[in-house]
Structure 1
Amino acid sequence: MISIKELRKEFTVEDKKIVAVDDVTLDIKRGEIFGVIGYSGAGKSTFIRLLNGLEQPTSGEVFINGKRFSHMKGESLRQARQKVSMIFQHFNLLWSRTVEENIAFPLEIAGVSKEERYDRVQNLIELVGLQGREKAYPSQLSGGQKQRVGIARALANEPDVLLGDEATSALDPETTDAILDLLVDINERLGITIVLITHEMHVIQKICHRVAVMEAGRIVEMGKVLDVFQNPQQSVTKRFVSQLTGVKDTLPTLEMLFDNYPSGSLIQLTFVGKKTEEPILTELIRNFQVSASVVHGHINETKDGPYGTLIVHIDGAESQIHEALQFLQSIDVKAEVLSNE
C-alpha cells in the first residue's frame, strides 16, 4: 500500500545541513493502522509531510497505491493528494464556515456537484457523530468536535490513506480516547489505511497494529505493538514503554525500592496475552520455597491483546530464587533482576 525506500530529507539552515529524515525504508500494509512515535525533533512531522507530497525528498522514494509521490509535481500531485488526506493537531478549520461548509470545502475544490456534496457531507456528519451540529461554527465547538470535523473533512474525497499529525495531542484524555475509538471505527468500516505520528505511547497502545520508533531522523525500532512493548530494544523505546507501564528506570526510584526491600531480589516481570490472567505468583509460592509480593503493577490493552508489567519482591534462599526465575522463563514470562548499581 505504502512503500518507502531510502527516504532522506535535508534542510540547510544558516549554511548548516540538517538531516530531518535519514535513510528510512519501510512498508505499510493496506488497511493497517500504523504508528510513528518519537520525541520532539525526531523527524516525525517532516516524515509525514513527505508521505503526502507537502515536502519533496532530497533522495529516496515514496509509493502510495503504486503511484510515485516522491518528486511528483503540479496537477498530477494535486490529483494524487486527493486520495491521501490529513488531520492536524490544531484542526485547521475555516472559522467563517459552518461544520457542513468545512466538510464540503474539499469537495468544492474537487468540482463535486452541489447535490452530491450535500449527500456526502450528511453521511460524514453521521459517521463522525456530529448530528445536530451541522450549522455550528468552529468557535461553538469543543476540541473533540473540532477534530471530528477535521476527520470528516479529511474523508470527504474518499481517500485511501488518512494521515494524522499529532491528531490528539491538543485534547484531554477522555476526548483523546473518543477520537481514537472513532479512528478505529473508520478503519474497520472503510478499510482505510491510517498512519499516525505522535509522541504519546497511549495512542500507539490503543489503536495501532504496528509501530515505528523514530530518533534523529531514523527508524531505530519497528514491529507489532505488542512485540515492541514486550521486548523494547532501544533506550528511546524503553522510555516510551515506561510511560504506560509506570516502571521508571531512574536511580532515585530504584534507590527507594532497595531501601524498602534490602533483602531478596526485585524482579521486573513482563507478560502478554493469557499470561496476564494466570496466578503466576501463587505458582511461585506453591512450587518454590520463596515469598513473593507485588511492589508495582500495570496492565495495558493493545490491539493484539493485554500486556502487563510487574515489579515483584522475591525473598528466600538464593538457589530457590534462581529456580523460580528459571521457572518464569520456561513459561514465557520475561524476568529481569533489577540492580541498584
Structure 2
Amino acid sequence: MIELKDITKVYKTKNGELTAVQDVNLTINKGEIFGIIGYSGAGKSTLIRLLNGLEKPTSGTVNVNGQQISSISGSKLRLARQKISMIFQHFNLLWSRTVAENIAFPLEIAGVAKSERAKKVKELIDLVGLSGRENAYPSQLSGGQKQRVGIARALANNPEVLLCDEATSALDPETTDSILELLLDINKRLGLSIVLITHEMHVIQKICHRVAVMEAGRIVETGEVLRVFQNPQAEITKNFVMQVSGTKETKVSIEQVLANYPTGKIVKLTFIGNKTEQPIISQLIKQFDVEVNIVHGNISQTANGPYGTLIVQIDGENSNVVQALNLLKSNEIQTEVIEHA
C-alpha cells in the first residue's frame, strides 16, 4: 500500500543544509492505522508531506497505491492526490462556507454533478455525526465539530489513504478521544489506511495497529503497538511509553520503598492481552512465601488489546524471590529488576 525506500529530505537554508528526514525505510499495510510519533523537530511532519507529494525527497522513492509519488507531477500527481486525503491540526476550513459547502468543495473541484454532490455530502455528514449542523458556519462550531467537518471533507473523494497531521493536538482530551473513536470507526467501515502523526503516545495507544518512533529525522523503532509498549528498545520510546503507563511518576515511591525495604527487589512487570487478567500476585504469595508490596499499577487499552504495567517490591528468602521471578518469566510476563529509581 505505502512504501518508503531510502528516503532522505534535505532543505537548503541560509545557514546551510538541514536534514529533516534521513535514511527512512517504511512499509504501511493496506487497511491499517499506522502511527508516527516523535517530538517537535523529529521530521514527522516532513515525512507525512512526502506521502502526498507536497514535498519531494532529496533521494529515495515514495510509493502509494502503486504510484511513485516521489517522481510524478502535474495532472498525474493531482489525480493521485484524490486518493490521498489529509486532515490538519487547525482544521483548514473555508470560513465563508457552511458545513455542507465545506464538505462539497473537493467534489466541486472534481466536477461531480450537483445532485450527486448533495447525496454524498449527506452521507458524510451522517457518518461523522454532524446531522443538523449542515448549515452552520465554522465559527459556530466547537473544535471537535470543526475536525469532524475536516474528516468528512477529506473523505469526499473516496480516498484510499487518510493522512492525519497532529489532527487532535488542538483538542481537549475528551474531544480527542471522540475524534479517535471516529477515525477507528471509519477505518473499520471503509477499510482505508490511516497514517497518523503525533507527539502524544495516548493517541498511538488508542487506535494504532503499528507505530514508528522518529528522532532527529530517523526512525529509531517500529513495530506492533502492543509489542512496542511491552518492550520498548530506544530511550525515546521508553519515555513515550512512560507517558501513558504512569511509571514516570513512581520514582519517589520506588525510592521510598527501597529505603524502607532494602532487602527486597523492586520489579517492573509488563504484560499484554489476557495476561492482564491473571491473578499472578496472589499466586506468587501462595506458592513461594514472599511478600509483595504494590508500588504502582496501570492497565491501558490499545487497538490490539490491553497493556498493563505493575511495579512491585518482592521480599523474602532469596531463593524464593528468584523462583517467583522465574514464574513470572515463564508466564510470558516481562520482568525488569529496578536497582534504583
Q: Pick the TM interval, shorter chain.
A: over 0.9
CA RMSD, Structure 1 to Structure 2 (Å)? 1.3
The equivalent of 1:304 in structure 2 is: 304
Q: Secondary structure at the match of 1:103?
A: helix
The equivalent of 2:314 in structure 1 is: 314
Q: Do 1:57 and 1:71's aligned partners in 2 also have CA atoms closer than 8 Å?
A: no
Q: Given the superposition, is the C-alpha separation of residues 324 and 127 from structure 1 closer, same or farther in structure 2, using an over 3 Å criterion?
A: same
Q: Given the superposition, is the C-alpha separation of residues 279 and 37 from structure 1 closer, same or farther in structure 2, using an over 3 Å criterion?
A: same
CA deviation vs aligned residue, 1:248-274 (integer Å, no higher than 9, x gap): 188656434423443311110111111
The equivalent of 2:145 in structure 1 is: 145
Q: Given the superposition, is the C-alpha separation of residues 209 and 306 from structure 1 closer, same or farther in structure 2, using an over 3 Å criterion?
A: same
AA of the residue aligned to 2:277: E
Between 247-256 and 210-219, report the one with greater CA deviation. Answer: 247-256
The equivalent of 1:187 in structure 2 is: 187
Separation in 2, partners of 1:200, 1:80: 30
AA of the residue aligned to 1:220: V
CA deviation vs aligned residue, 1:60-105 (integer Å, no higher than 9, x gap): 1111110110032111111111110000001000111100010011
* Equivalent residues in 2 for 1:148-163, closer than 5 Å: 148-163=148-163
Give the total of aligned pairs. 341
* Equivalent residues in 2 for 1:270-309, closer than 5 Å: 270-309=270-309
The equivalent of 1:204 in structure 2 is: 204
Separation in 2, partners of 1:14, 1:297: 50
The equivalent of 2:72 in structure 1 is: 72
AA of the residue aligned to 1:83: K
Deviation at 1:168, TM superposition (A): 0.6
Deviation at 1:3, TM superposition (A): 1.1
Separation in 1, partners of 2:219, 2:250: 25
Q: Secondary structure at the match of 1:248?
A: helix
Deviation at 1:154, TM superposition (A): 0.3
CA deviation vs aligned residue, 1:106-136 (integer Å, no higher than 9, x gap): 1111111111111111110000000000000
Separation in 2, partners of 1:224, 1:161: 19
Separation in 1, partners of 2:253, 2:58: 44
Deviation at 1:310, TM superposition (A): 0.4
The equivalent of 1:45 in structure 2 is: 45
Separation in 2, partners of 1:244, 1:191: 28
Q: Secondary structure at the match of 1:227?
A: helix
Q: Do 1:212 and 1:219's aligned partners in 2 also have CA atoms closer than 8 Å?
A: yes
The equivalent of 1:213 in structure 2 is: 213
The equivalent of 2:111 in structure 1 is: 111
The equivalent of 1:247 in structure 2 is: 247
Mind listing any 5+ residue stretches in structure 2 that lack a counterpart? Answer: none
The equivalent of 1:25 in structure 2 is: 25
CA deviation vs aligned residue, 1:308-329 (integer Å, no higher than 9, x gap): 1000011112221111111111
The equivalent of 2:2 in structure 1 is: 2
Separation in 1, partners of 2:106, 2:260: 61
Q: Do 2:99 and 2:134's aligned partners in 1 also have CA atoms closer than 8 Å?
A: yes
Separation in 2, partners of 1:7, 1:302: 30
Q: Do 1:62 and 1:70's aligned partners in 2 also have CA atoms closer than 8 Å?
A: yes
Mind listing any 5+ residue stretches in structure 1 that lack a counterpart? Answer: none
The equivalent of 1:90 in structure 2 is: 90
AA of the residue aligned to 1:320: N
Q: Given the superposition, is the C-alpha separation of residues 66 and 91 from structure 1 closer, same or farther in structure 2, using an over 3 Å criterion?
A: same
Between 242-251 and 140-149, report the one with greater CA deviation. Answer: 242-251
- Percent identity over paired residues: 65
* Equivalent residues in 2 for 1:220-235, closer than 5 Å: 220-235=220-235
CA deviation vs aligned residue, 1:294-337 (integer Å, no higher than 9, x gap): 11000011122111100001111222111111111111111111
CA deviation vs aligned residue, 1:159-206 (integer Å, no higher than 9, x gap): 110000000111111111111111111111111110000011111111
Q: Do 2:208 and 2:303's aligned partners in 1 also have CA atoms closer than 8 Å?
A: yes
The equivalent of 1:128 in structure 2 is: 128
Between 316-325 and 79-88, report the one with greater CA deviation. Answer: 316-325
